[in-house]
Amino acid sequence: MNLELLLPELSLLITAIAVIMLDLFTERKGLLAVVSIVGLAIAAGFAITMWGTDPQAIFNNMLAVDNYALFFKLLFLGIAVLVILVSVDYVSKFVHFRGEYHALVLLATLGMMLMAAATDLISIFVALELAAISFYVLVGFLKDKKSTEASLKFVLLGGIASAVLLFGMALTFGFTGTTQLPEIALAVHEMSAQGLLSNPGLILGIVLMIAGFGFKIAAVPFHMWAPDVYEGAPTPITLYLSVGSKVAGFAVILRVFYSAFALPETLSLDWGMIFAILGAIGMTLGNVVAIQQANIKRMLAYSSIAHAGYIMIGLAAIGLSIGLSPTTDTLAPLAQSSILFYVVAFALADLAAFISVIVISGKLGSDQISDYAGMGKQAPLVALALTLGLISLIGLPPTAGFIAKFYIFSDAVNNGLLWLVIIAVLNSAISAYYYLRVVKVMWLNEPAREGKVPSSLALRLALAISCLGILLLGIVPTIVMKLAEMATSMFGF
């Protein structure tokens, strides 16, 4: 047993249970947030101490402890801290179940951390469901009409997606005889030597897995749930879905496709092109539909669909780079860390945007973009933060979004995907239209009502952290790039 390698996860689990127990015995519910954050910090501390150690496989190759997993674990822990911070005001509206709320957020985090570490189809599925079920409940937490509808929709569609994913995994298992990613890779390699690779069953398995994972990352055409769920869910949970769940989905996809289906290169070329096409469709559809949205949460939902498209450019580039470099026997270390940088930059920008939305909509009681009129006067700092977040989402300098786009596009151009990059850069220009519309409404239009917009210390702290992050990554990106490179070069299994 290598339990010490699982310390971050275990400490998080213990915290979650402790939060539920504490909820029974204390009247000071504010304590729950404090305990959650302490638990997250402890988990992060354990994760940091493991950074840079040699990759290890634990529990019969079910999980990997490598820099790649740790990178994502730390990212999720950081995001979870911010989610708890921004929930402080939000949950004070709930009479019941505040303990459960925090515990579920922690459990979702735990699920996502395991997703990043899982190296076996079974552990991947279990981790994924742990995160998904926590989210199903959290989405319905408001218990009003929209929230309930969102939750129901999420459960039903999520259930179907899980079934599709499971079917894909079953087919893959059927053809390769194993559920462990490295062994799948070996089996696939052998099949190709015997000329069995064109077997439609295995290809179907891979395609179904893409569909199942595509649901998690809200990739077109598996995105239908996202706008409704984003709109109906409590905003901190929308935020968590957008930055947490999506990033976790990408973490899994990258590991599965890179470790199991990378060789022979024809296979990489195949899924590389699938991701390229899905990405092109996704960003175009997301951006075009976002233009018509009047509700800011729906707009950000479509924006995050579009960003899933941009991130898939990175996946396509990885697929093509393996496919184009003729190394048949051994897999070169993953050269591209641009996806990792991109998800961090995207998470920061989306955090800044959603936290500002929480502050402003909390005061207005409305998510309509037109109601944001005059926020530049009423809440200049929050409006500035939202503007910064949106500018980063457009990908304008000097923000993290720009460097991230430059980095991911450069990987794509390097692998002969100039056409995709041209579609993507034109898409960024389209996206400016709807992002700047919000900016315009805030700074140019006159406020409908008088009065300041209050914001709690916790919210301001969370907002400050994300804004600083955006600027830091935009101006001196080297540190995070180094970390991302370390994460991909120590990609264990």
Residues that bind another protein (CB under 8 A): 391, 394, 396-398, 402-403, 406-407, 409-410, 413-414, 416, 418, 421-422, 425-426, 428-429, 432-433, 436, 439-440, 443-444, 477-478, 481-482, 485
Closest approach of Cβ 488 to another protein, in Å? 12
Closest approach of Cβ 281 to another protein, in Å? 18
Choice between 3 and 422, CB closer to another protein: 422
Choice between 196 and 430, CB closer to another protein: 430
Closest approach of Cβ 439 to another protein, in Å? 8
Choice between 154 and 434, CB closer to another protein: 434
Closest approach of Cβ 331 to another protein, in Å? 22
Choice between 90 and 402, CB closer to another protein: 402
Choice between 332 and 419, CB closer to another protein: 419
Closest approach of Cβ 477 to another protein, in Å? 6
Choice between 137 and 394, CB closer to another protein: 394
Q: What angle do CA 55, 61, 65 make, to 5 degrees?
A: 30
Closest approach of Cβ 160 to another protein, in Å? 37
Closest approach of Cβ 316 to another protein, in Å? 15
Choice between 265 and 485, CB closer to another protein: 485
Closest approach of Cβ 337 to another protein, in Å? 8
Choice between 114 and 400, CB closer to another protein: 400
